[in-house]
Amino acid sequence: MNLANLDLSTLGLVLASLTGVGSFVLGRHLRRKRQEKRAARERLAEAATQSRQVRRAKERSGRG
């Protein structure tokens, strides 16, 4: 592709589109990581409030 034939507005539009797509992908990735961390933190908090007997019963039933 010859960049000399492209005017500035076309190049700007392509650059803006690529930047937007990159920002979208990065945002989804970071959001997923944040959700996983929050879910892990909630699981730990729930396990801390359960009695030992309840935790062992869940482990035996295969839910833990």
Distance CA 42, CA 59 (A): 18
Domain extent listing, the chain: 7-61
- Among residues 7, 31, 2, the alpha carbon closest in space to that of 15 is found at 7
pLDDT at 6: 64
Give pLDDT tens digits for 1-59: 556 666 778 888 999 999 999 999 999 999 999 999 999 999 888 888 888 888 888 88
